[in-house]
Amino acid sequence: MSADTLLHTPLYTLHTEAGGKMVPFAGYAMPLNYADGIMAEHRHVREHAGLFDVSHMGQVRLRARSGGGEAAAHALERLVPADMVALKNGKQRYTQFTNEQGGILDDLMVARMGDSLLLVINAACKDADIAHLRAALTDCEIEVLDDRALLALQGPEAEAALAVLAPAVRDMKFMDVLEVDVDGTPCVISRSGYTGEDGFEISVPVTEADRVARKLLEQPAVKLIGLGARDSLRLEAGMCLYGSDIDETTTPVEAALEWSIQKSRRRGGARAGGFPGADVILAQLEEGVSRRRVGLLPEGRAPVRGGAPLYADAAFTTPLGKVTSGAFGPTVEAPVAMGYVATDHAAPHTPVVAELRGRAVAATVHTLPFVAARFKR
């Protein structure tokens, strides 16, 4: 896609003014990093507070045509393996859209807000997800909230910075969602994110996004952070990137996401199954899988990137799987990666070998996350 056909988010002007290195991402011109660079931006988020433009992501409101929020929750359970009915008003939960083979069409966050559910979906999957929702949930109204931008404010100083404009956020806990004014603008805020740090995602009207972002940036703790640091932060936090670590060929159980499938949806549960690929996924929960997503800590300083083959031995005779994401972890101060390995090599501390430019690089299976989460529970 050429530069002039790329979409712009409402913060495009702010990004270019701030020296953002704009790159194509899911059809949008997005900032890879600003003047300080990925390493400094990454550390700034872990130490202070970073502001990310994630307006390229899709925001969707789902309402049942008859019945309230509970009816909408029942409807969405036809497409995802998580318990949506038990999701309390004002709370958010992570789940996946699955296909008939048990693979993952997209991963998403769902918030229960009164009589509706608010979904945040990946930019690259937006059109497909919306078509999927409309085709499968004819009993629901699917409203695409393209009049809203999405900002993420992440880091140990995020609460203090946001509380200046919206004092009520101090009382929010991890995965709470609240409709609240930010500097007089009605927003929907969740206390969640994609960095492993405490923080917030702020859904703000497009017309006010630039103003609210600049207000947040007036706080000395807050700096703009690009997609480069977003990727290294989420990797250290052990979180999946759709299209790399999970996709239509990986199931939630292979991807080690079974924590997001509550008991009520498993065999013997009150609403067991009933989502695409349930037969595959529920069987895997009980019988296990042949491969698992794991963290990998390569020895030495060389980053091992997505695509690198993994073996049990340095002669490359026993293939185990492959790396799906890898980078240098600025907080870990070493290369970090994740990937899929045969289940008999998935236990923490298991030695494996990655192939890097034809050479064998020793690596160890590592529990995720690499950097402990600091959510406000």
List residues forming the annotated binding site. Answer: 201
Name the H helices within the chain: 12-17, 37-47, 69-76, 126-136, 158-163, 206-217, 227-236, 278-287
Member of 303, 316, 343, 374 binding other proteins (CB under 8 A): 303
Site size toward other proteins (CB under 8 A) is 20
For residue 360, state whether it binds other proteins (rule: CB under 8 A): no
DSSP string, 289-318: -SEEEEEEEESSSPPPPTT-EEESSTTS-S
- For the chain, the first-to-last Cα distance in angstroms comes to 42
Member of 18, 160, 221, 302 binding other proteins (CB under 8 A): 302
Member of 6, 22, 26, 39 binding other proteins (CB under 8 A): 39
DSSP string, 106-162: EEEEEEEETTEEEEEE-GGGHHHHHHHHHHH-TTEEEEE-TTEEEEEEESTTHHHHH
Are 219 and 166 in contact, with CB atoms under 8 Å apart? no
For residue 305, state whether it binds other proteins (rule: CB under 8 A): yes
Query: What is the nearest approach in angstroms of other proteins to the Cβ of residue 325?
Result: 11
Pairing of strands 291-298, 199-205: unpaired
For residue 42, state whether it binds other proteins (rule: CB under 8 A): yes
Are 356 and 308 in contact, with CB atoms under 8 Å apart? yes
Which parts of 223-282 interact with other proteins (CB under 8 A)?
228-229, 231-232
Query: What is the nearest approach in angstroms of other proteins to the Cβ of residue 330?
Result: 6
What angle do the packed helices 37-47 and 227-236 form, to 10 degrees? 60
CA count, 13 A, side-chain hemisphere, 218: 9
Q: For other proteins, which is the closer residue by CB, 305 or 322?
A: 305
For residue 357, state whether it binds other proteins (rule: CB under 8 A): yes
For residue 40, state whether it binds other proteins (rule: CB under 8 A): yes
Quote the distance between the C-alpha of residue 108 and its chain's center: 7
**Rg over CA atoms, the chain:** 21
Which parts of 308-347 interact with other proteins (CB under 8 A)?
327-328, 330, 335
**Contacting range for other proteins; rule: CB under 8 A; set: 70-78, 119-127, 187-195, 296-304:** 296-304
Query: What is the nearest approach in angstroms of other proteins to the Cβ of residue 375?
Result: 24
Rounded CA separation 69/177 (Å): 15
Q: For other proteins, which is the closer residue by CB, 38 or 161?
A: 38
Query: What is the nearest approach in angstroms of other proteins to the Cβ of residue 37?
Result: 4
Are 107 and 129 in contact, with CB atoms under 8 Å apart? no
Which parts of 199-228 interact with other proteins (CB under 8 A)?
228
For residue 38, state whether it binds other proteins (rule: CB under 8 A): yes
Query: What is the nearest approach in angstroms of other proteins to the Cβ of residue 246?
Result: 20
Query: What is the nearest approach in angstroms of other proteins to the Cβ of residue 109?
Result: 25
Query: What is the nearest approach in angstroms of other proteins to the Cβ of residue 136?
Result: 37
Residues of this chain that interact with other proteins (CB under 8 A) are 32-33, 37-40, 42, 228-229, 231-232, 301-303, 305, 327-328, 330, 335, 357
